[in-house]
Structure 1
Amino acid sequence: MIQQNQRSFSAGQMMATPDVLHQIPEYEVQRALARHLAGDWGDCCQEDAGANDAALQTGGRLFSVYHTADGITFWIITEADRSATTVLLPENY
């Protein structure tokens, strides 16, 4: 498991979908991005968390799940080549 509060990979270009920009407060997005970049995968299932931990070694895609204080679920995905990290709602996938 990656030690939290330790940046473990490059985020590349950071993007967010229009729905995220309209529905989620910026401070909640920023907090989740900090967690994602520290290797805290949020509320993703154990299988996805394990895949993320392996992807840090092998270069695969990274996927995290977070929830706002109002209960909105959103995802953060970093591409396998680390060129981009996108914040999106599940329905935007």
Structure 2
Amino acid sequence: MTYLFRVLLKPKGPPLFQLGRLVATPGAIELMVLTETSPLELAAMHVAGDWGECDPEDAQTNNEAVKHGARVMSVYRLPLIKKDQAEGTGEGAAPDGPIAIEDDRIWVITEADRSVTTFLLPEEY
């Protein structure tokens, strides 16, 4: 299946590490499609050291991981669109529509060997 995302990238800074191959789980793809969020925008933030909603301790761990070649993880909260907008039906939208995601967080993880970066939902870990 092919998904198209609108992208207007503004560099967040120079890349700090290699991303490798970009892959995504089905849940992450669904969330990015529903929120019209480009994986390239998330990757640009991640590779520039914008760790999203990581707590200060995890951010420090990421900074050390960049220096020493360990795994790097970012957490982003995506802006979910309203259910009736996703269904295109307005006020009378059915309660059991296509949105089954209860959390709006997405994880972006780059492996220590920099071979792959994965977009996934926390429950898919």
Give the TM-score normalised by the residue count of structure 2. Answer: 0.67
**What is residue 57 of structure 1 aligned with on the other side?**
67
Segments ≥4 residues shifted beyond 4 Å? none
- Provide the aligned length of Structure 1 versus Structure 2: 90
CA RMSD of aligned residues (A): 1.4
**What is residue 120 of structure 2 aligned with on the other side?**
88
Shift of 1:27: 3.2
Shift of 1:28: 3.8
Distance 2:31 2:79 in 1: 12
Q: Which has the larger radius of gyration?
A: 2
**What is residue 15 of structure 1 aligned with on the other side?**
23
Shift of 1:32: 1.4
Shift of 1:5: 1.1
Distance 2:78 2:37 in 1: 10
1:43 aligns with 2:53: yes
1:30 aligns with 2:62: no
Shift of 1:30: 2.4
Give the TM-score normalised by the residue count of structure 1. Answer: 0.89
